[in-house]
Amino acid sequence: MPTTTYSRRSPSRSSPWLPPPALLYLAAFAAAAASAHAGFFGRPVKLLASLLSVPASLLRLLLTALPAAPLLLLPLLPLPFPLTAALAVLGLLLLVPFWSLAGAAAVVESSACVSPLRQSCRLLNGARLAALSAFLVFGAGIGVTLWGFGGVAAETYDASAGWAGMAPVVVKAVVGTAVLVVLMLYGMVINVVLYMHCRALHGELTGEIYNEFANSYVFLPFDEGKDRHVVSVVTVWP
């Protein structure tokens, strides 16, 4: 009896209702950035509020990403694939130390177009190596994951063997997807954390922290007339 094998093939064209992966990534980044910013100040993270903020944040992210749009046109050029990939990677490496915080600035500060790009360049002054290192670490992790699990869709299995034949393919697909999602999520959160860290280094969070936690402190009568500052107390274990 001949053995029947099945393989998963990609459709000839994508469904018209399915958004491009870039839009899905930007929408996920908008929700993750809003949640991470709320968590930084100890606010409760509300899923519905984060999802409702996605459309406006997505529009701001698209407008902010327009200066980097030429990188998306590289695959359309009549160039060999290795050269196209090398140019895309080189372009990203040149832009990351300057514009990598533009997305977080667009979501948190509700700005778009040139303003988040300028804010990112200013905040990354002195932290460009940290931004580049974070990009390389997560970029390498995502690349290795795609390389290791990218061939799962083309694998075949014996349908007559039942679940025993499908299990290896299903497990590989689930594990690869889970690892990829975790890396992308951590990359988004790290980007927002770096944005908040750079703002703190530039002294921009003092007023926000004071306004956020002012009701948590009691001001004594002899505090009247004094300048109120945010003081960080560090306790060193003996």
Over range 68-83, report the average pLDDT: 72
Asked whether residue 75 carries a pLDDT value surpassing 50, the answer given is yes
Over range 151-165, report the average pLDDT: 63
- The beta strands (E) that lie in 116-163 are given as 156-158
Asked whether residue 4 carries a pLDDT value surpassing 50, the answer given is no
Q: Tell me if 195 sits within 8 A of 105, measured CB to CB.
A: yes
**pLDDT recorded at residue 183:** 92
Q: Tell me if 58 sits within 8 A of 27, measured CB to CB.
A: yes
Name the percent of the chain in helix, strand, coil, to the closest 5: 70, 5, 25
The residue ranking higher by pLDDT, 70 or 36, is: 36
**pLDDT recorded at residue 13:** 42
Asked whether residue 217 carries a pLDDT value surpassing 80, the answer given is no
Q: How many residues does the chain have?
A: 238
What are the sequence ranges of the domains in the chain?
Answer: 19-216
Check residue 72 and report its DSSP letter: G
Place of tokens 């000839």: 12
The values of phi and psi at residue 157, to 5°, are -145, 160
Q: What is the mean pLDDT of the chain?
A: 75
Whole-number Å distance between alpha carbons of 19 and 95: 25
Distances (CA, A) of 132 to 94, 95, 169: 9, 9, 35
SS3 156: strand
